[in-house]
Amino acid sequence: MILINRINKRLLIAKILLIAATIFFLTNISADCTPERTVDNLPLDPEFHPQLGTYYYQVNWNRVNVGKARISIDLENDLYTIMVHAETNRKLDKIYKIRYKGESRISTEPLTPIKAKINEKVKSTKKETTIEFQKDGTIKSSEVKSKKGKPSKTTEREFQTENFTLDPFSATCLVRRLDWEVGMEEIFDVITGEDQYLLELKCIKQTTIEIAGTKRLAWEIVPELTKLDTEEQEKNDQKKDDMTIYVSADKAKEMLKIKVALKVGYFRIILEKFEPAL
């Protein structure tokens, strides 16, 4: 249980990029001097359009499978819908059962999140979160948390920001839409419904990795995440873990792999296959 709690605490970026219930990761960078962040400042690839369909991932810890995830992308009336499902496997369910479902609706031009819904269940605790992005820049969230045998608790929150801000799922869309180059660094904000974060992405190099038996050329990207409410930053998590994201260096710009190096080993989320929409 100590090991599971350590992994769950340290891997938040993959929650923002893929399966929010599984991963928590914080760094300690001051956000006071960052410039205003807008979508116009981001180097988006105007020719990129994500393939519609479903991506399937395996979730491994030290080469042992602990769960699976899938991301589906649909398009209707110039709105993308991103759906995320993730769950631990039967063996891990016996000690730490996780079920996760998320959905986000995003305007394509300009790239703007509209609404996100997150449903997660960890053991006997359920949490339902709704995030709504208003035209005036206000972001409203509602969280309903319940535990078996206890009454539910509802928390309403409101965020005010002039910076370009995304929910965890539209952030994955943005990472793929950026026109990556070695040495490039990009910064934007992410709202989880409970907290607001500054996400910084640095493209370190171009490399080749093997995915599903095929060698793929990929951008190697290092993320750093900072909680914007500095008064609540965790004091006891000073060490930065080594995390790397691999995005395919081709027209598809697929999220190929996320790797995190911990004291207890490696945590990996790896693409298994893609099924295009019919």
Taking 80 as the threshold, does the pLDDT of residue 42 lie above it? no
DSSP 178: B
133: Cα within 13 Å, side-chain hemisphere:
22
Lowest mean pLDDT among 79-88, 170-179, 205-214, 234-243: 234-243
Find out whether 57 and 69 touch, Cβ atoms under 8 Å: yes
Q: What is d(CA 256, CA 9) in angstroms, rounded to the nearest whole number?
A: 23
CA angle (99 as vertex; 95, 101 as ends), nearest 5: 165
Find out whether 172 and 256 touch, Cβ atoms under 8 Å: no
Q: What is d(CA 174, CA 178) in angstroms, rounded to the nearest whole number?
A: 6
Taking 50 as the threshold, does the pLDDT of residue 248 lie above it? yes
Q: What is d(CA 208, CA 218) in angstroms, rounded to the nearest whole number?
A: 6
3-state secondary structure of 10: helix
Over residues 216-228, the pLDDT tens digits come to 999 999 988 888 8
For residue 149, what are the contacts with CB-CB under 8 A and spacing of at least 6? none
- pTM recorded for the entire structure: 0.82
3-state secondary structure of 91: helix
Q: What is d(CA 190, CA 184) in angstroms, rounded to the nearest whole number?
A: 19
Mean pLDDT (the chain) is: 82
Over residues 70-89, the pLDDT tens digits come to 999 999 988 999 999 999 99
Q: Which two tokens stand for residue 72?
A: 């589906």
138 versus 14: the higher-pLDDT residue is 138
Closest CA to 19 of 248, 272, 258, 276: 258
Find out whether 70 and 85 touch, Cβ atoms under 8 Å: yes
240 versus 135: the higher-pLDDT residue is 135
Identity of the residue numbered 125: T
Per-residue HEC secondary structure of 130-147 comes to EEEECCCCEEEEEEEEEE
Instruction: Please state whether the peptide bond connecting residue 35 to the residue before it is cis, i.e. omega within 30 degrees of 0.
Output: no
Q: What is d(CA 40, CA 32) in angstroms, rounded to the nearest whole number?
A: 21
Q: What is d(CA 25, CA 260) in angstroms, rounded to the nearest whole number?
A: 10
